[in-house]
Amino acid sequence: MGKDPFNFMSLFWSDKKVVVTGGAGFLGQIVVSQLKAQGCQDIFIPRSKEYDLREKEAIIRMLKKADPDIILHLAAVVGGIGANQDNPGKFFYDNIMMGVQLIEEARLFGVKKLVAVGTICAYPKFTPVPFKEDDLWIGYPEETNAPYGLAKKMLLVQSQAYRQQYGFNSIFLLPVNLYGPADNFSPASSHVIPALIKKCVDAKKKGEASITVWGTGQASREFLYVDDAARGILMAAEKFDKSDPVNLGAGFEITIKELIDLIVELTGFTGKIIWDSSKPDGQPRRRLDTQRAYQEFGFKAQVAFREGLMKTIAWYEKAGV
């Protein structure tokens, strides 16, 4: 692995007041721990029970309480293909209301910078591979997650419009699928890596002869280790001041078939894989062009995929959630 630019104390964060929405979540916890490691003394994490970010009044209350210099908007209502199919209206409404009102109230409050974390689901279904940021508008997103993807994509439109009209400093990042220890392993809402790890580890423990996997295995994905994603977000927050969208990824592609073969190997599951081709594959291919992030603020993924998977599997085997 290369030299980590965050192995030093960045003076940038030491005097900043930072709000991290979604700061108690999978990605948010890593972002918060990295902020602390960078000497950030004043971090506010709005919890949904006290601050429902779909409500304008709650956002205003939060801003008055925290008085932030920077907002890192990581909060999202999100899930895998099944969860997206079951909750298209909720995923659209919750995500767009949180983001649009937060950006507006942050502008009115005088927040110096807002980082909006979007989603790879914003890309068109048949985006040329590797996905370049300039191709975001060449088609409609993959149907199973389009409402979620479009709700997040509107934050890019808002970011660009607000910079043009008001000079408001916000940026928009597009992380690819994240994974890592403490991911969401709930069968109802988990993404593909935790779902497959859970199936293999649980089946091995119970001595089951087979597991069933959605789709055909032909679709491809790209995955970014959660610590890398957090580092990329903080590097962008510190160094990037444009409203051009920026991909955060690892720059590789693996089919779901290859992924399950690797997870089977690393978990030691010896049973049969049954493919349920009646279930959707989702977007046919995903791999990001990661040049802009490197050129603009020096971000490059560092955790090798096999290494990240081994850490994630070890965490799940120990946690047994």
Active-site annotation, residues: 148
Q: 137: exposed, middle or buried (C-beta count within 10 Å: 0-12, 13-18, 19+)?
A: exposed
For residue 158, give both structure tokens.
Answer: 């808002």
Question: Angle of helix 256-267 relative to helix 192-206, nearest 10 degrees?
Answer: 40
Angle, alpha carbons 215-217-219 (nearest 5°): 90
CA distance to 118, 124, 229, 239, per residue, from 247 (Å): 10, 14, 10, 15
Angstrom distance (rounded) from CA 205 to CA 309: 19
Angstrom distance (rounded) from CA 147 to CA 138: 17
Q: How many Å separate Cα 4 from the centre of its chain? A: 20
Alpha-carbon torsion (275, 280, 285, 287), positive or negative = negative
Residues facing residue 42 across a β-bridge: 17
Task: List, as one string, the DSSP characters of 37-60.
Answer: HTT--EEE---TTT--TTSHHHHH
Angstrom distance (rounded) from CA 50 to CA 58: 8
Q: Give the list of residues 6+ apart from residue 194 with CB closer than 8 angstroms, or none.
A: 179, 183, 184, 185, 312, 316
